[in-house]
Structures are given as structure tokens and as C-alpha cells.
Amino acid sequence: MAEAHVVGRAVAAVHADLRRAFGSRLVSGTDADAVFDSLHHRWDTVLAETPELREHAADVRAVFERARAENPTLRVQRTHGDLHLGQPLRTARGWVVIDLEGEPMAPFEERERLRPTHRDVAGMLRSFDYAAGHRLLAVERESGDDEPSTSGAGPVADAAGRELAVAAARQDAFCAGYARVLDGPRGRPALLRALRLEKAVYEVAYELANRPSCLGSPSRLCAASSGAEPLPTPSVC
């Protein structure tokens, strides 16, 4: 957990450097609405390609709208844009963050858009979930059980409980490290939850475009991220 804490500090330091170099601004009204409208737009795009997700449409939109209602004012700035566990690297001089060009699927004008730093934090938290999901997937394959649960008994249920606890501890450590440098990201829980859900939606869109056979169950993935299930199912490749 100590490394997650240090990575949190490193990510916050990058945000602080970007803020010093390019500035930041407070937005409200239509400018703040644009942040949340973009979440709905991404969801609409995925729904058009994945009909099985329609059962989650209202729940996902409710998460986005709650974040909008609770965050009428946002601070936006330049961010990493595609932050996950593959981007921070440990070097002899400490942790560095690479690949600041944004999401590979996004056009340039979208990559340079100012956003809340919570979006990068959400990417890291989602990435801890994703790593836990891959470890659980290995247990599922060994047991032949493709419906994991944290209730009941058995190897999959036990593994799910362990992975949930480990992922949560790493997320807590990351956020605590981040808060040593900048404002703690968990001060806006509805915003953070909405942006974590957006990351899950992005994963579905990315896999559909690049590795559709690896997608696994997008319905379970989005249900997990919106709170209906405790642990997401990553791609199956």
C-alpha cells in the first residue's frame, strides 16, 4: 500500500505542475454542464453499439445527473487524460508519469479540453478495480464459475472478498497520497463516482472498437461500476 500512496503523490505533483504551467479556472453554468454532457454522450455512443447495456441506461444516467446536481462549480485544467496503472513508472529517481497525450481514441480537440483532475484520479481508481478483476478472473477460470459473488462460500466468493479489500486499500492509499499535495479527490464523491463510471463505459467502447472478442460481459462491468455489483469483470483476453 505504501507504493500506492507514493503514486498518489506523484500524480498530484503532475497535476500541480500542469496547473502552474497552464493555469486552471472555475467553471459553472453551461461550461460545467459540458463536462457532464460529455459523460452522457459517451454513454449514448456505447448504448448504440451494445444493446444489452440498455437495462442499465437509467441507473448510469442517474449517477451522472447526481454528480451534475452536486457540483454546480468545477475547477478544470490540463490533465493527463488517459491515466491508469500502466502510466506511472518507478525509476531510480522516483515515480514518473508518462504518455500525457490523452485517450488514443479521442480527437485532438477533445484531448486538450480542460477537465477536473478527478477524471485522472478516477482512471487510477478504476485501474485498481481492473487489476483486481483480472486476478479474480483467474480464480473463476480455475473453478469453472463465471458468476462470482462476495456472499456464500467457495474459492470465487473468497477471492472476490480478498480482491475487494485489497483494491479498496490501494485506492485509499492512493487518495491519501494525492491529498498530501493537492485537495483530496474524495471531497467530491458524486463527481468521482460518475467519472469512475465513465471509465468503465470507455472500456466497453475501447474493447468494442479494438478487441470485441475480448469484451466479456459489458453488462456486468457497467453494473459493477454503478454500484449494482461489487467487482467488475475485465476483458477476457
Q: What is the pLDDT of residues 30-75, one digit of tens each?
A: 999 999 999 999 899 888 988 878 888 898 999 999 999 999 999 9
pLDDT of residue 199: 87
Picking from 190, 188, 180, 202, the residue whose alpha carbon sits closest to that of residue 7 is 180
pTM: 0.86
Tally of CA atoms within 13 A in the half-sphere of 148 that contains its CB? 33
CA angle (116, 105, 186) in 5-degree steps: 25
- Measured distance CA(95)–CA(212) in Å, rounded: 33
Residue 228 lies in a domain: no
Q: Which residue has the cell 502510466?
A: 87
> Is the separation of the CB atoms in 201 and 195 below 8 Å?
no
Parallel, antiparallel or unpaired: strands 24-28 and 73-77: antiparallel
pLDDT of residue 69: 98
Parallel, antiparallel or unpaired: strands 73-77 and 94-97: unpaired
Residue 230 lies in a domain: no
| Helix or strand (DSSP H, E) at 73 | strand 73-77
* Residues of the chain predicted below pLDDT 70: 144-153, 156, 213-237
Picking from 81, 59, 54, the residue whose alpha carbon sits closest to that of residue 218 is 54
> Is the separation of the CB atoms in 82 and 123 below 8 Å?
yes
β-sheet bridge partners, residue 96: 89
Residue 88 lies in a domain: yes
Residue 168 lies in a domain: yes
User: CB atoms < 10 A from the CB of 61, how many?
Assistant: 15
> Is the separation of the CB atoms in 206 and 222 below 8 Å?
no
Residue 29 lies in a domain: yes
The CATH number for 100's domain is 3.90.1200.10
Residue 237 lies in a domain: no
Residue 49 lies in a domain: yes
Domains of the chain: total: 1
pLDDT of residue 95: 92
Picking from 109, 122, 146, the residue whose alpha carbon sits closest to that of residue 220 is 146
Residue 236 lies in a domain: no
pLDDT of residue 216: 62
C-alpha cell read off for 155: 474459492
Q: Note down the domain range covering 54.
A: 1-143+150-219
